[in-house]
Structure 1
C-alpha cells in the first residue's frame, strides 16, 4: 500500500487533477461520473479482476505465451544454445554423412582384421614347417643351380673360423731306438718323462738315440727341444735330421749350478730343424763327451720360456 491510499475503495479526491480543463461552460453540473476503475496502486490478489467496478471472480489464467524476443536461443527456429551447443549438441542424432563415415571405417577395420589374421596364420604355419625341417623332415631344395653355385657351400667351415692346429710330436721314450749302449734307466730321481725314466748315455761312446715320428703340420722350420741333466760343463751330442748331419751339436751345459747331483739338475735346450710333412727322423749321437741323461724330446712351433 502506497502513501495517500487508504486501502480498498477510492480516495477522497478525484484521481484526475486536470478535470477542470474539460468542465462544461457556465458551471454546468458535471456529467454523472461512472464508477471508476480501481487505482493503479490499489492492491489486488493475483488473478483477481474487476469488471465495471464490480468485484469479479478469479479466473484461471492461461499459461503465458512465450515472447519471441525473450525466448531462449535454443527454442527459436535455427537458434543455437550458447557456448557452442553444450551437451545437448553432442547427443544429437548423427547425420547421413556421419553414418556413411562410420560404416566406411567399420568396413576398413574388418578388412584389416582379416588381413592380419591371414598373415599371422601364414607366419605361424611357416614356423611350424621350419621346425619340422629342423627336426629331421626332408624338404625340397629351393632356388636354382646358379644361386647355389654363387652361395657358400654349407659344408665348408666359416671363413673367419680358424682351423685347429694339429698336435706337435712329443717323444715316447719307450718307443725310441737305442744303439751302442744307450738304454733306459731310472737311477736318478725327478726325471720329467711320463714313467720317470731317462736315457743313459754317459760313459758310452758313440751311443745313439733315434726318434722317428709323423708330422702333420705345414713343412718348415720348428724347434727341437731336448731335456737333460748334467753336472759337468762342455757336454754335447751330434745329431742329424732326416739323414742329413747337422754342423751345430746339441749343446748340453750345466745350467743348474745350485746342485751337483743329477737328481736336481734337469734343464732343457733347443735346436732349429727343418721338418717335412709326413715321416721325419732325428738321430742323436754321443760322438763327443756326453756325460748326460736325457728325459725328454719334443717339437714346438715357438721358443718356450
Structure 2
C-alpha cells in the first residue's frame, strides 16, 4: 500500500504521536501543523486541527452525499503555550474595567475591617445594670415597715387581752371610734323567761356567768349602745355555747330585723351533747347610726335557739 493514498501499512503503525520518537521521525512522522492533520505522511482522514475553528463561526457541514470530516485516530488538541493568553478567554479584570486592586472597606482607616463597637456595648450594659441596682435600692429603702400590722378582724374567739372591761349595765358607750364597746351577756336587758347560770364551765364573762333560756319563741336580750361617732357598717360579735348542734336567732337593729338570722353554727365541730366543749364565736353585719343604737337578739318563729350567750361586742365592719 502506498503511504500517499492509504497511510501506514498497518493501523498500529499510524501513530499520531510518532513524531515524538526517533523511529517515527525516521519514517517521516511530523507534528501537527496549520495545514491539517498530523502523524505520518498520507494518514487517513485528514481533518482540521482542534482550535483552528474560530468561536462563533458555524461548523463545516458536509455536502449532500459527502462524508463529514472526522478527527484522525488519537488526534489531540493544539497545545497552548504556558503564559500566552487564550483567544477564547478573557480575564475578569479585562471585562468592564473591573478593578484589579482590593478596595478598602468603608471606615476601616487603612484597608482593615473593623468589628462592632464592643466598647460602646459594654458601657451600655453597665449603665442598664446600674439603673436596675439603683431601682432595687430605692424600692427597699421606701418599703413600708408597717406591712405586718394586723387588721381590725377578730378570730374565731374574742381575745382575752381586750382592754375594755365588760360593762355591768345594759347600756354601753363607745369612748371613740377605735374603742367600740364590749359587754357580758349577763349585763344585757334580759327578756321574759331569760335568766343567767354558771353550771357549764368555759364562759369568759365575769364569774363564768352566761345567759340561758333563749330556746323558746319570744325570748330575747337587748343591748343599747350609745356614743357611736360615725354611722356606717359594723360587725356584731357574739360568743355562745351549743351542745354540738347548730343554732340561730333573729338579730334586729333599731327595731328592724336583719334579712339573715344570727348563725350560731357548730364551727369547731364539738361533740353533740357536750356543752363544755361547744364555746365558740360568730358575727353578723349591722348598720348603725351616729349616736345611740338598740341591738336585739331574739328567738322567733323558725329559729333554733338552743344556745347560751357569753359576751357580745362591736367592731368596725
TM-score by length of 1: 0.43
| Bigger Cα Rg | 1
